[in-house]
């Protein structure tokens, strides 16, 4: 019995010591954080540089490859293209024009031990473009957001990011492809002759004021919202966990499927409906003409109206 009592006393002492050390650690961190002006970036052990590249050559297409930097497009105040990079000292970017294409690449010279430590910095690649109209834009990134403002227009846009937000507000005349593994996607303000493909594994999708021939949107975890969006041919929406909302949308053929989530909204023309919910209410117009509209959900309500 004495041995058992001693073990309990030892455990209590260890717990008290652990609690005291935790409190002391929190106090030390708080004091250090306050000394740094509560700027979390100053806690980073990575070293950053600010570099600027200026190009005078003309180009009609843009290709950007980066790893951990966010990409921002902005309007240049001159006839030159300027690229401003906030980057790590061993992950510098390069910029040059190759056969009419602006190519921005990143060279990672880090060794394994360079990844040890904390990183709270915000890496960015800001591209100041001298023109408003370009043929194509291609962006590939591992971790970082991409923003394409509405002041620009392209024939085609293709953006693929592993982790980060994507916002495409530019006018695109041919095709749009936006893809991220973790992050939300927003696309607006385009009238294309081709296809719009938007996909995210974890994140929401919002599409507004889009005209195209074909449209597909897919999210494993996250809602999908479409507003004033019309596909001349077909519209396909797949959502594993999340609701789907269609506001003033239309297509000749519509297919919407979600495992867990409601399907609601308004369409612009009559459809021949096939609607099914395993667990939920179904309320769709009893129209017998027009294109086809297939709506299926495992758990959730279905409610669609035709907007006059």
Structurally, the chain folds into a number of domains equal to 2
216 in a domain, yes or no?
no
Residue 181 and residue 256 in one domain = no
Pair 191, 60 in one domain = yes
pLDDT digits (tens, 9 = 90+) for 274-291: 999 999 999 999 988 999
Residue 24 lies in a domain: no
Task: Based on the fold, state whether residues 93 and 172 are members of the same structural domain.
Answer: yes
Q: What number is the average pLDDT over the span 198-225?
A: 96
Residues 159 and 231 in one domain: no
In a domain, 135, yes or no: yes
> Is 30 part of any domain?
no
| 215 inside domain | no
Domain that holds residue 255: 223-308
Tens digit of each residue's pLDDT (9 = 90 or more) over 151-165: 999 999 999 999 999
Residues 134 and 269 reside in one and the same domain? no
Query: How far is residue 299 from each of residues 148, 202, 239, 251, 290, measured CA to CA in Å?
Result: 36, 19, 12, 25, 27
Q: How confident is the model at residue 8 (pLDDT cuts 50, 70, 90)?
A: low
Q: Do 305 and 266 form a contact (C-beta atoms < 8 A)?
A: yes
- Look at residues 182, 197, 212 and tell me which one is the last residue of a structural domain: 197
**Cβ-contact 48, 68 below 8 angstroms:** no
Cβ-based burial of 78 (10 A; exposed 0-12, middle 13-18, buried ≥19): exposed
36 inside domain? no
């Amino acid at each position: 019995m004495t041995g058992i009592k001693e073990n309990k006393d030892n455990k209590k002492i260890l717990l008290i010591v652990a609690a005291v050390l935790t409190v002391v650690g929190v106090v030390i961190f708080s004091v250090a954080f306050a000394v740094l002006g509560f700027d979390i970036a100053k806690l980073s052990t990575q070293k950053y540089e600010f570099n600027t590249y200026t190009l005078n050559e003309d180009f009609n297409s843009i290709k950007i490859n980066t790893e951990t930097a966010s990409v921002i497009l902005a309007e240049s105040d001159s006839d030159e293209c300027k690229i401003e990079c906030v980057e790590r000292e061993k992950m510098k970017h390069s910029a040059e024009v190759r056969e009419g294409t602006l190519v921005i690449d990143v060279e990672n010279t880090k060794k394994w031990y360079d990844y040890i430590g904390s990183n709270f910095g915000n890496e960015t690649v800001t591209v100041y473009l001298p023109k408003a109209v370009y043929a194509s834009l291609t962006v590939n990134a591992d971790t970082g957001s991409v923003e394409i403002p509405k002041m620009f227009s392209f024939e085609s846009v293709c953006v693929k990011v592993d982790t980060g937000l994507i916002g495409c507000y530019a006018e695109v005349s041919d095709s749009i492809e936006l893809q991220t593994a973790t992050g939300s996607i927003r696309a607006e303000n385009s009238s294309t002759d081709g296809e719009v493909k938007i996909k995210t594994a974890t994140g929401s999708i919002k599409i507004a004021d889009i005209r195209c021939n074909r449209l597909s949107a897919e999210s494993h975890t996250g809602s999908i919202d479409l507003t004033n969006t019309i596909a001349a041919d077909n519209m396909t929406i797949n959502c594993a966990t999340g609701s789907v909302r269609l506001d003033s949308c239309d297509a000749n053929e519509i297919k919407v499927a979600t495992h867990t989530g409601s399907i609601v909204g308004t369409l612009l023309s009559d459809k021949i409906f096939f609607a099914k919910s395993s667990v939920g209410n179904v309320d769709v117009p009893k129209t017998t003409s027009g294109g086809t509209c297939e709506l299926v959900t495992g758990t959730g309500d279905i409610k669609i109206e035709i907007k006059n």
